[in-house]
Every structure is written in C-alpha cells, then in structure tokens.
Structure 1
C-alpha cells in the first residue's frame, strides 16, 4: 500500500457537523475534520509519491498541476468558510500523519482561537483600482504658436502631453488613496497587497490599488454601495468576493519538521 500524508486545508471553529459529501480534496479523497477543544482542522489523505517533499518539488514546476491543486484547495476552504469562521492554510501544507495535526491544534490552540475570533462574522473582499488612459489636451501656455518652428511646436506638444499625463497619474493615485481610506473605514481590517504586474493581472492599465478588506457581514451592503459610489471616469474599480479571509488569518504553524512541507 502506498504511503500517505495528511493534507491540511483550513482550521475553523468546530460546528459539530461534517462538510457535504460532495466536497472532495485535492486528489478526490473525502475531507474530514480533526477536532480539539472547539477547533476543527480539515484534512484529506494524499499519496506521498506525489505530495512527499521530493516529488512535490517537481510537481510545483508544473503550472497545470499547481492550478488544479489550487482550485481544489480553494473549493474546500470556501466550503468550510460557509459553515464557520475559517483560517485558510497555505497551499500544499502536508503532514506525515493526523496525529501531527492534532498536536498542532493542541500546541497552537489559543493563537488559532484568537485568529478565528477576529474573523467571526466577516468575509474578505478584494478591490483593485486601475488607471484609465487619458489623452489630455495641450495646456494653453504650452500650445504651439504660429511663429514657432516645426521643431519648437513639436517640443511644446510633447511637453504638454507629458505634463497632462503626469497630472492624470497624480489625480488617479490620489483617487486610489481616497478609495482605500473610505473602504478601510467600513472594514474591520484591511491590507494593501503589492500591485500586480500586467502580465499577472492580464490588463494593460496600471494597477494603483490591490486591496483586501475584512468586512462584517452586517456591513456588506454598505461596503458594496461604497465601492459603486467611488467609481469614476479617471479610475476603474474591480470588486471581487466575498471570500474566505485569506489575507487576515496568517498563523505561523511552527517550524516545519522533516516530514512536513509548507510550499512557498
């Protein structure tokens, strides 16, 4: 029989009932809860010939494998988050046995409980703001005159275009700051991620804001309405969510052991 490890998806408050049967793990195996004093760790068995430390290094170079694993991981996390306050665990966190997971719940019980208390009744929303391209008319003081030579006229138009674009960027950056400040005031907590490179975002426009906001469910409609009210001509806003609170449940699970791998 092939050796197996224990894949950990999330830690949540124990609600006393299992996930729906149709929720399957990264290899299609059933997901079960390991419980300890009000906490539940959601796990499934995985073959170490695929998820062991050495073979995993090879699989992590396969983008199709990583993408499929990430989607399955997220499906489990979202299913757990619908049932109880949840702390998602990093992708591909594998322990050698369920006993190690039980030991984790015992050792880090108070820290984990505190994190879950913080996100109780809340969900994460993502807000991205992009600068819209702007073609500014030349400023009056820089507009070419009839007496200008062709070269001088070109330089004036060029300077006016650059200044117009700089003004547009500054305006868009100020709007992004205003958006973040407004949404943060409605949120329990917020976090600004680094703007994504266009190659990752899939958009040509520059990303000015990549924010995550932990919003209480009773302020959900207020938050969404605020996003809509902040939309404008000079900046485009993209709203995603609600999600499990990935950005607000970072917990150090302790030093990894030889048989435990936290993927980067």
Structure 2
C-alpha cells in the first residue's frame, strides 16, 4: 500500500471518487487506459484520479470496467469511498483540489461519515419459475379448475376456448404478482432490520422477487450474511437468493 500523493498535474483528470486524506492506495492501481491512479488530497479529504484519456470519447466497455475496478479495489481494501458516477472529469489536479475538494469539504466529510465503517451489499431474489408456476396451478382453486378443464378440450375445439385461455393467463399473472409482493415483503422484513439503510430497486423481469441494496455496519456483516443463508435454506427450492458485495456504495450517497 502506498501513501496518498500530492503531485502537481496540468493534464485533464478523470475522477473516480473521494475518500479520506489519510487513506491508503493499493499499489500499482491503474484506471482508464491503464493510467496510474493516485490521490489528490485537500484538508481531510482526497480525490481518486488518473490522467483523462485524450483523443477519444469515453464510454467503451473497457472504460466502464476500469472505473468500476478502481472503486472496487478501494472497497476490497476496506477503504470508505464516495464513488462518482462514470464520466466525471476536471481540467487538472488543481481544479480537483479547489473546485471539488476545497469547496465541498464539509459536505464530502459528512457523506463519508455515513458510509465509513459500513459495507454496501446487494441481495437479489429470483423465482425458480417451474416451481412457482406449479404452486399457482395447483394451489389456487380457480386457476386449478380452469387449467384442468382446458386440458380436456380437444384440439379441434381450441378456438371455442380462446378467451378462457386468455383468462387463465390473466389469472396466473395476477396470482404471481400477489406471491411476488408477499415473498418480497417476507425477505425484506428479515433483512432490512439488520441494515442501517436500504435502497430497493424496481424488478426488471417477471421472475424477479426482490432486488435491494443494504448498507450494513461492518460489525453486523456476519449476522447479515447468516440471515441471507437462512433465507436461502428456507426458500431456496422456489427462490434463488444471491448476496453480492461488498460493493461501492452508489445507492447510499447523494446525487450531485
């Protein structure tokens, strides 16, 4: 680990995030275009920067991955990091000090206080589709009766039951929606009390039950992970539950 550096830089700088001025930087850490990453300190805070790539626009997958990898390296080292969204750049290192750090020192320190000594993790729960669909088809009397009746319809009479099949689909979708709400509430009720803050994400797919980020005290990490393991043991046959992280705490820092 190397100490924070305070080099003078006149080249445009890419900014990954902000941390404490006394933080330690992992050795040989590189960022965009494999440029060396360094600290620019100002009072109690420091920005994590590297030279901005020149002669091309940012946005390639390699750029996004480099940005994430730099932040993840700090998280893996146990360093409190206020992550910036991809694409932040400033004129030079002096601008980073004066315009970013000096002008916003109180606010940056306040945000770092809220994440220091904590980890951000993400929990995703996804239905085992065949299992949950079987539950709906067998446990809901109205759906079970209609499905059984439609299975007995001969092929040459399919057109006559078209709207019944549409109705069956609507009933299944509604039943799955109700189960999703109940299951999500059950998972969140078990995990949310163990976290200091929670950020729920809207499900992207029909099979997504829960997708949420949690800010957990480092002292509570084992307890939280065991709670996730317990939910996996209880619901694993019908809900795949994944714990991801620690991650950069994007969901727990203010925008702007």
Give the structure-1-normalised TM-score: 0.75
Matched residue, 1:258:
none
Question: Judging changes above 3 Å, is the alpha-carbon distance between structure 1 residues 10 and 30 closer, same or farther for their aligned structure 2 residues?
Answer: same
Counterpart for residue 11 of structure 1: 18
- Secondary structure of the residue aligned to 1:91 is coil
Partner of 2:113: 117
1:248 is matched with which residue? 252
Q: Which residue of 2 aligns with 1:176?
A: 184
Give the 5 Å matches for 1:90-105.
90-103=85-98, 104-105=100-101
1:48 aligns with 2:49: no
Q: Secondary structure at the match of 2:85?
A: strand
Instruction: Report the counterpart of residue 83 of structure 2 in structure 1.
Output: 88
RMSD: 2.9
Deviates more, 1:27-36 or 1:79-88: 79-88
Poorly superposed stretches of 4+, deviation over 4 Å: 140-143, 148-162
Name the counterpart of 2:208: 207
Using structure 2 for the length normalisation, give the TM-score.
Answer: 0.78
Q: Would you tell me which structure has more helix in proportion to its own residues?
A: 2
Structure 1 position 37 matched with structure 2 position 55: no
1:157 to 1:30, Cα distance in 2 relative to 1, 3 A: closer
Contact 2:44–2:105 (CA under 8 A) maintained in structure 1: no
| CA shift for structure 1 position 161 | 6.8
Deviations 1:89-139 (Å, cap 9, x if unpaired)?
111211111111101111111111011000011111111122332131373
Deviation at 1:156, TM superposition (A): 6.9
- Which stretches in structure 1 are left out of the alignment for 5+ residues? 51-55, 199-204, 253-264
Structure 1's 16 and 212: CA in aligned 2 closer, same or farther, altered over 3 A?
closer
Task: Name structure 2 gaps, 5 residues minimum.
Answer: 1-9
Q: Give the drift of 1:172.
A: 2.6
